[in-house]
Structures are given as C-alpha cells and as structure tokens.
Amino acid sequence: MKEHNKIPTGKVKRASKVITSGAKVGGNYIKYYAKKAIGNKNAKDELDEANADEIYNTLSELKGGALKAAQIMSMDKGFLPTAFQEKFAQAQYKVPPLSYPLVVKTFKTYFQKSPLEIFDSFTKHAVNAASIGQVHKAEKNGETFAVKVQYPGVAESISSDLKLVKPIASRVLKLKEKDIEKYFNEVESKLKEETDYVHEINQSIEMSKACKQINNITFPTYYKELSNEKILTMSWVDGQPLSEFLKTDPSQEVKNKIAQTIWDFYTYQMNVLKALHADPHPGNFLITNDHKVAAIDFGCIKRIPDDFYVSYAKFLDESLYENKEKFTETLYELEFLLPTDSDYEKKVYYDLFRDIIPLFSTPFRAKTFDFKSTGFMQQVNEYAQKLSTDKELRKLNNARGSEHLLFVNRTNFGLFAIMDSLNACVDNKYMLELATKN
C-alpha cells in the first residue's frame, strides 16, 4: 500500500481537504442528476460508490478523528448506504501508513532519539496501520516488540476534525446535525483518551490484569520506559490476526473454543468490570499456535455508568417483552422514547424497538446460541435493509438512544460479526450467572 509522505496537521489545511472533497461530491451529484434524467437505473448506486470513495480517500489522508468517525459510522447497519458501509469499514484494517522519515521525526520529538538509537532493529515500513497510529516491529536485547507510533497532529485536531465531519455524517446518515450532537461528543471524548498513549498504557495494564482470569486468553506485556504520549511499546505477540487465522481452515471445535474465549471476555467486561474493550474488530485479536486468544489495543475503553447498565440489563429478562408498561418505561430510560414525542412518534418507535431489541438481544438471552444454524447475522442484515428503506421512519429523521449506546452497540455488532465469521456456538451460562449476580 502506498505510504503517505506527509499529513495535513493545521486546521486550515485539514479543512481545505474536506472542502475540496465536498466540491467533488457536489460534482458527483450533478453527474447523478444527469444520469437519472436519461433513465440510468444504476445512477444512485454509482453516486454512493463515487461519494464513498471520495470521502474515504480524503479521511484516510487526514487520519485521526476524521477517519475514526468513518470507522464508527461503518458499524451502522440500519442507515448507512451499503457503499459507504463497505468503504468506511476499511478504516479498521486498510489505512495507508506514514513513511519512515515521519516516524523518525516523531521519535526525535518525543524521545530525542531515532528508533535505531533506542532499538537494535526497527522495521522501516509499518506492519499495520489504523486511524490513530501505525505499528512497527522492533528488537532490543534479544526481545521483540510492537511499537505503536501516533500520526502527527491527530490529537490536536480531534475537535476541529469532528466539526468538519459532522455535516458529512449528517448527510450520509440522513439525520439532523443537532440530533447527532451528543454522539459526536461521545466520540470526541473517547478519541481524546485514545490519542493519549500514557493513558492507554495504564488502561492496558489495568484491563489485562482484570481479565487474566478468563480461560484461554493472553495479553502483551507493556513497557512504560519505552513509551510516552505518542509512542507505545508492548511485547510482540506471535500469532495470526483472526481473519488470517480463519483462512487456515481450522476445525469447528477450535473455532468454538476461540469464540467462547472472546464471548466470555466481553461478558466479563460488561457485567463485572462495566468497562468494554470497545474496538472488537478481528485485527485486535491474534490467535497463537496453541489457539489462545491474544487481545490487543486497549485504546478505546467504554466505561459503563451504573444507571445505564441497570436499564440496559433489563433486556436480558424475557418477561420484559410481555409487559408493555415496563418495556415502555425502559425505552424512556435509554432515550429510545422521548418525553417530547408525539403520539405518532411514540407508536412508530415503540413498534420499531419492540421488534429490534428482542432480535439483537437474543444471543445474550439464550442458554446456548448457535450463530450458524440460526442465521442470526442474516436476520440482522435483512432487518437493517428493511429499516434503510422504511419511508415512515425516514420521515421522522431522528436519532435515538442514549449516547452510551454508541460504543456498546458498536461493540456488540463487532462481537456478533466475529461470532458469525467463526460459525460459533457459544455457551451463555457464565454470562447469565454474572448478570444475575450484578
């Protein structure tokens, strides 16, 4: 993949990139209307693909908060057009890295030394690149390390980046800017934490210790003396990213073992720690030779407020769905319904969430759940497609739900996707016991 030799760091430069991209998007709309006028049936799909390419390419050049917002939007199965969903999902695993001279510059700024003055060896090309930083492999005194280097200007431009991206998100999601304000505030808060590598290394050590009792899971060792606010060093884990491991055609027994490990990992965090590793894409799980799961990258941790957890956990109770009064009360608690809703809005949203919540919570409520035989993700995708074309819902044009749901739902969708890729059958006994105790 082509490396970037520079990255726009000033507000004006970054804004000009977005403005230029916006002009190109406007040009794409002109082409769309021309194609539509002559009866091109594929005009809308071609418009979405062209705009998704243009916006993603711009955001991948900016990196940071702009690109992270695209990654988060890619998790929206109900409202994001397919072309945008597929393109923005690349922010999880396919981001053009920065060139070596820029990496050296970061080292000299924060360590006053080049990488090779600190390590015995250091790869010039990144072994992985994401929205906030990229990873290099290094060696020192016979030990091997993964060294994460943050992109220049990312932390300083979070607020301004999100202000630039908000109108794009509003247009793509077909929602009012004021309705997505609280979600963008939530993203901004998490991104500011994620760009502080001193905070991340402390968080990584905390979460690793807290989750070490979970069967079959392992974590890197973190090195504070080789880390600072822009560079994070951990031990190198020999293993394959989950997506690569699956290409080796492991047995279903092995896949179920891996799935159960990841499932219990999230169950324990949600119900005991009330703190979620909120970036569950396959690249953040490495599978070792003895089929242990190595969980990496604790930059994004969502802390779950107690009052939110109490309301959210009610969805695990089967009887809730048979009690209209209590179910309605819970919808208000989690801001799925609002006091300002008209009678019509209350009916539309009640009916929507009365269908969707039991579906999405099914894997957590069952004693055992088989993602393959139930065709769960197919049901989810079909329902999402139905929502995306629901004219009545589009007319309302309102975002719904507590801001805390943003990262909780992102985590659940990522978890479901992993389970689906493993054709997993998971046992919920551990999760249900924890939920009962807590």
State pLDDT tens for residues 356-404.
999 999 999 999 999 999 999 989 888 877 776 777 776 676 778 999 9
- Residues 205, 219: Cα–Cα separation, whole Å: 9
Check whether residue 166 and residue 244 sit in a common domain: no
Average pLDDT, the chain: 84
Asked whether the beta carbons of 172 and 391 are under 8 A apart, the reply is no
Whether the pTM exceeds 0.85: the reply is no
Asked whether residue 166 is domain-assigned, the answer is yes
3-state secondary structure of 341: coil
Q: Are residues 246 and 171 in the same domain?
A: no
Phi, then psi, of 113 in degrees rounded to 5: -145, 155
Q: Are residues 298 and 436 in the same domain?
A: yes
Percent of the chain at pLDDT > 70 equals: 76
- Cα–Cα distance for residue pair 431/368, rounded to 1 Å: 11
Q: What is the mean pLDDT of residues 226-231?
A: 96
- Of all residues in the chain, the percent with pLDDT exceeding 90 is 50
pLDDT of residue 9: 61
- Asked if residue 303 and residue 435 are part of one domain, the reply reads yes
Q: Do the beta carbons of residue 267 and residue 365 sit within 8 Å?
A: no
Task: Say if strands 133-140 and 128-129 run parallel, antiparallel, or are unpaired.
Answer: antiparallel
The average pLDDT across 162-182 equals 70
Strand segments (E) across 304-403: 368-370
214, 204 Cβ separation under 8 angstroms: no
Residue 400 and residue 265 share a domain: yes
Please give the C-alpha separations between residue 21 and each of 14, 24, 48, 168, in angstroms, as whole numbers.
Answer: 11, 5, 14, 11
d(CA 74, CA 81): 9
Q: Which residues form the domain of 84?
A: 11-95+158-176
Is there a single domain that holds both residue 171 and residue 282? no
Phi, psi of 128 (to 5 degrees): -160, 145
Least confident span in 35-44, 67-76, 267-276:
67-76
Question: Do 252 and 390 fall within a single domain?
Answer: yes
Has residue 104 been placed in a domain?
no
Total domains present in the chain: 2
**Three-class DSSP category at 188:** helix
Q: 237-274 pLDDT, tens per residue?
A: 999 999 899 999 999 999 999 999 999 999 899 989 99
User: Does 435 map to a domain?
Assistant: yes
CA distance linking residue 402 with residue 302, whole number of Å: 14
Spatial contact of 198 and 228, defined as CB atoms under 8 Å apart? yes
Q: Which of 24, 80, 69, 19 is nearest to 50 (CA)?
A: 24
User: Are the CB atoms for 151 and 98 separated by under 8 Å?
Assistant: yes
Could you tell me if residue 214 is inside a domain?
no
Dihedral (CA of 302, 305, 311, 313) sign: positive
Q: What is the pLDDT of residues 268-327, one digit of tens each?
A: 999 899 999 988 888 889 999 999 999 998 988 999 999 999 999 999 999 999 999 999
Q: In this structure, is residue 129 part of a structural domain?
A: no
Exposure of 190 in the CB half-sphere (CA atoms within 13 A): 28
Q: 42 and 165, same structural domain?
A: yes
Residues 293 and 367 in one domain: yes
Has residue 201 been placed in a domain?
A: no
281 with 418, same domain: the answer is yes
Q: State yes or no: pLDDT of 181 exceeds 60.
A: yes
Residues 46 and 166 reside in one and the same domain: yes
Q: Does residue 421 lie within any of the structural domains?
A: yes
Answer whether residue 84 shows pLDDT above 90: no
How large is the average pLDDT for residues 73-95? 58
In a domain, 6, yes or no: no
The backbone region for 150, taken as left when phi is positive above 0, alpha when psi lies in -120 to 50, beta otherwise, is: beta
Confirm if 234 and 221 have CB atoms less than 8 A apart. Answer: yes
d(Cα 378, Cα 74) in Å, to the nearest integer? 17
Helices 64-73 and 181-194 pack at an angle, to 10 degrees, of: 120
Q: Does 304 lie in the same domain as 166?
A: no
Give the integer Cα–Cα distance in Å for 415 and 350.
26
State which of 148, 176, 204 marks the end of a domain: 176
- Euclidean distance between CA atoms 36 and 44, whole angstroms: 8
